[in-house]
Every structure is written in C-alpha cells, then in structure tokens.
Amino acid sequence: MIKIWGRRSSANVQKVMWMLGELGLEYRHIPAGGPYGIVNTPEFRALNPNGLVPVIDDDGMVLWESNAIVRYLASQYGGEPFWPSSPRERAGLDKWMDWSASTLQAHFIGLFVSYWRTPENLRDAKKIAALHDNVVNDLMLLGRVLAKQPFLGGDAFSIADIPNGVHLYRFYTMGIPAPSLPNIETYYARLQERPAYREHVMISYDEIRGKLSF
C-alpha cells in the first residue's frame, strides 16, 4: 500500500491526497511536518533530504516533490485522461503543472505566507495587496482559458487541474475579498463537485494560522 507522509494542511500534500482520491487508491497516511514534526529525523531525511512533505513510498519507490508525485501516480495508475498516451496531449497538461509551480503557486504561496501564516500584528498590508494583485492576474489568465473549456486540459479533469485548483479553496476562504472572476468561480464550483476535492482540499488549515516557523 502507498505510504504518504505529510500534514493535511499543506497544499503540496493536498495535491497528492487529491490525486490518490481521484484514482481511488488505498494509502496509509503518516502525519509529518509542522506540528507533527518527524521531518528533521535522520529516518525522514533519508527519504527526503530536503526535510519537506509530501513524500510517498510506493512499494520501495520513494518520491518527493508534489508535482512529480502527481505525475508518477497518473502514469503508474491513471491511464487516460490523467496520463494521455499522446506525448502532445501530455505536454499540454504538463505545461499547466509547470506554470503552476513557476507562476500561480509561487505567487499564491507568497500571499498565503504574508497573510495567513504571518501573525496579524506583523502583516504588511501593502505587500499583501501587491501579492494579491499578482494572484488575481494569474487567475485572470486562467479564466480566459477556462472561458473556452471546462478544465485546464480541455473537456476532462486531469493532472493540469490539481496543482492549480488546489489553491482556489484558500484563495476564496482565507479572508481577503476576491474580485469578480466569473470563469474562475464557475471552475471552482466544478472542482467542488468532485468528492476527492471536498475530502482533501476543502479542509481546515487553521493549524498553520500565524505560524511562520515551519
């Protein structure tokens, strides 16, 4: 059975949990990181020298980096449409995963850390507003794509939606008023129809509120 280490309040862990849920795979979850510790033990560092979550062990195949894990699970257990056999179609999904890592997630994590994870008396309102603008610009770009198709890969839900969609729950719930983004709102509602999204992404992240220490 696949083992996964990580705290459920981590967006990177949630990507993997969501993927496991979409594929209906059995897993054993080991809380790690943040208040659960473990990540600095020699045993954990032997799994991931970065001391970060998520990490999986699939029958001896140890893997870290959330997007790489999502790709591995899709290719090993998913088949179409999670892992299209056509390299061109697959590249079209991969592109959105890399865009998420380099652009949307990079901006969103900056915002999330500056707002949610920073104690209120230490927050920098100007910095938060600028970071929020970056995220809104990214979502406007996504919205233009989603005006023409229901999911980022096209007609079907795919691995392209996981690293991008995971951030929408927090974007809409952490307490910063969002501007009207009708195509994103429709997309977010579409993601909420998925049981695995509700189970693994739409959950409390209160344990990391005001916590900058990990």
Ligand X SMILES: N[C@@H](CCC(=O)N[C@@H](CS)C(=O)NCC(=O)O)C(=O)O
Residues near ligand X (CB under 6 A) are 7, 10-12, 33-34, 39, 52-54, 65-67, 214
Q: Looking at beta carbons only, is 65 or 89 nearer to ligand X?
A: 65
Which residue of this chain has its Cβ atom nearest to ligand X in the complex? 33
CB of 118 to ligand X, least distance (A): 16
CB of 110 to ligand X, least distance (A): 13
Report the DSSP beta bridge partners of residue 64: 55
Q: State the DSSP string of the chain.
A: -EEEES-TT-HHHHHHHHHHHHHT--EEEE--SGGG--TTSHHHHHH-TT--S-EEEETTEEEESHHHHHHHHIIIII-TTTS-SSHHHHHHHHHHHHHIIIIIHHHHHHHHHHHTTS-GGG--HHHHHHHHHHHHHHHHHHHHHHTT-SBTTBSS--TTHHHHHTTHHHHHHSSPPPPP-HHHHHHHHHHHTSHHHHHHTSS--GGGTT----
Place of tokens 């509120």: 209
CB of 40 to ligand X, least distance (A): 9
CB of 179 to ligand X, least distance (A): 26
Q: Looking at beta carbons only, is 67 or 118 nearer to ligand X?
A: 67
CB of 48 to ligand X, least distance (A): 9
